[in-house]
Homo-oligomer: A and B are copies of this chain.
Amino acid sequence: MNVRTLCLGTLNFGDATGYEIKKMVEEGMFNHFIEASYGSIYPALTRMADDDLVTCREEAQEGKPDKKVYSITAKGRSELASALQGTPKPDKFKSEFLFVMLLADILPADHIAAVYGQRIEDLRIELAQMKSCADTGSHPGGQFVVGYGIAIIEAAIGYLEESRIGITTDRTTETETAGTVATAAE
């Protein structure tokens, strides 16, 4: 899926500026499973206005820069629907954390332990955010998506906690000792 489709999808929920679209994928409804940068959003909106998929009205603001508020057109809506037909591509998951864990034996054990602990903490914060998000009602599809996110994060936290004993420090006194990751079963 490209930025164009993404922008059309967000505009389907109401008019927005490029800035607001970015906030929606960063903090709002689309958070945690969609990403896009200003560097792709702004040019996409400009081009889509040329193609009549969206309209743009400029709103002057005092003290703040002018806003360009975009609205999806009928043509844009049909483009969106057509882009969404067919089977969606498989989810993409990228994890530097798992990459580090796979290479744990070339890194200091205390670093691995710190990273591991930090990760659990970060996931707990993310979970709390999602749960507070679920409270604020939003709309049914949003409930479903937030629920999905909560299920995943909870599973990740659960796994990391039960595997924690697998993160071992070998021979505590050696300085050059490297960390080792092993499953709890071992």
Residues of A in contact with B (beta carbons under 8 Å apart): 1, 6, 9, 12, 29-30, 32-35, 77, 80-81, 84-85, 87-107, 111, 115, 118-119, 122, 140-145, 147-148, 151-152, 154-156, 158-160, 163, 166, 180-183, 185-186
Contact = CB atoms under 8 A, between A and B. Distances in A.
A156 B119 CA distance: 20
**4 A-B pairs closest in CB distance:** A155-B155, A88-B96, A151-B159, A140-B182
Per assembly, the copies of the chain total: 2
Contacts of A94: 33-35, 91-93
15 contacts: A9-B99, A29-B102, A34-B94, A34-B98, A85-B107, A88-B115, A91-B95, A91-B96, A92-B92, A101-B141, A102-B141, A104-B141, A143-B182, A144-B181, A147-B183
Contact of A122 (B90, B104, B155): B90
Given A99-B30, A143-B186, A163-B147, A91 B89 contact: no
Contacts of A97: 88, 91
A106 B87 contact: no
Contacts of A84: 99-100, 103, 106-107
Given A147-B159, A148-B159, A181 B140 contact: yes
Given A34-B99, A96-B1, A106-B12, A144 B111 contact: no
